[in-house]
């Protein structure tokens, strides 16, 4: 793709995001064929937003999630600063076609990441909720490059307070998470649902960004993908994700 094509694709996605509109696909001349072009578009989209990058998300970290959107592996996306809120926040579902809440292990980095030193660079573990969305009418058929260009379906991200538990000594693979909608239990899962282990997901995104991005920087957060079946939500719902010893995080929808 030419730089002009990349800018066109990013502008198209960002304008649709701002106006809560949907497209079937990017026009042919603005459609990425591989991850190189896809991440280039994503970079320009973030620049057009005028927002800083609070961190990164990983989409499709379970086999079920990959099958649902028709991809063969995870995808990385940027968390825009104005889309990251604290636990208990109220966010709008206006224009959101996915309308789900996902429970995720999120890690904050104390320093820039050096190769092969992922966990040692982590400062804290947070319970988190992602509320994704897409700028495509049917995000299950457009393929990985277009989904990456669309910021890996990023929308809202709710970051809980850092856990006070000594999380490094826990078995994150078997760690259970329970999701509640309007005080009723809705979904459960374990860390193994995230690429087998949330720490494996961290290693994956470190490798991905070393090829296609600027790497992971101090203060940034990485959220590693849903460990439960996403919970359908509608305006008026309240969702709480209980991470047991790691604490909980909640969000309300308007």
pLDDT digits 0-9 by tens, 2-22: 999 999 999 999 999 999 999
Q: Where are the domains of the chain?
A: 52-253
pLDDT at 214: 78
Q: Cα 177 to chain center, whole Å?
A: 17
How does strand 156-159 pair with strand 122-131?
A: antiparallel
The pLDDT of residue 116 is: 61
135-145 pLDDT tens trace: 999 999 999 99
In whole angstroms, give the CA distance from residue 37 to residue 243.
Answer: 37
Could you tell me the pLDDT band of residue 221, with boundaries at 50, 70 and 90? very high
Token couple for 88:
């208990």
Say how far apart CA 91 and CA 88 lie, in whole Å. Answer: 10
Pick the CATH number of 52-253 from 3.40.50.300, 3.10.105.10, 3.90.850.10, 3.30.1300.10: 3.90.850.10
> Reduced to 3 states, what is the DSSP secondary structure of residue 208?
helix
CA angle 54–62–24, rounded 5-degree value: 70
pLDDT at 113: 84
Token pair 């076609």 is found at: 97
Q: Which of 249, 189, 190, 224 is nearest to 105 (CA)?
A: 224
* Tens-place pLDDT, residues 18-68: 999 999 999 999 999 999 999 999 999 999 999 999 999 999 999 889 999
Structure token pair of residue 220? 């940034």
The whole-number pLDDT of residue 115 equals 60
Res 1: pLDDT: 95
């Amino acid at each position: 793709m030419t730089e002009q094509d990349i800018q066109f694709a990013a502008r198209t996605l960002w304008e649709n995001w701002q106006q809560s509109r949907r497209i079937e696909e990017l026009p042919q001349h603005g459609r990425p064929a591989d991850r190189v072009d896809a991440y280039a578009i994503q970079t320009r989209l973030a620049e057009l937003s005028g927002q800083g990058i609070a961190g990164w998300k990983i989409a499709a970290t379970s086999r079920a999630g990959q099958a649902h959107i028709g991809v063969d592996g995870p995808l990385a996306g940027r968390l825009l600063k104005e889309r990251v809120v604290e636990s208990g926040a109220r966010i709008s579902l206006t224009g959101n076609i996915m309308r789900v809440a996902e429970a995720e292990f999120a890690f904050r980095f104390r320093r820039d990441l050096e190769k092969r030193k992922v966990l040692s660079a982590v400062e804290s573990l947070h319970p988190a909720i992602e509320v994704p969305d897409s700028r495509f009418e049917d995000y299950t058929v457009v393929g990985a490059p277009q989904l990456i260009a669309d910021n890996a379906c990023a929308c809202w991200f709710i970051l809980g307070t850092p856990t006070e538990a000594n999380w490094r000594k826990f078995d994150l693979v078997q760690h259970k998470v329970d999701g509640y909608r309007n005080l009723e239990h809705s979904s459960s899962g374990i860390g193994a649902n995230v690429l087998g282990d949330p720490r494996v997901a961290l290693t994956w995104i470190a490798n991905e960004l070393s090829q296609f991005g600027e790497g992971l920087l101090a203060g940034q957060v990485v959220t590693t993908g849903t460990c439960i079946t996403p919970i359908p939500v509608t305006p008026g719902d309240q969702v709480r994700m209980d991470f047991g010893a790691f604490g909980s995080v909640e969000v309300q929808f308007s």
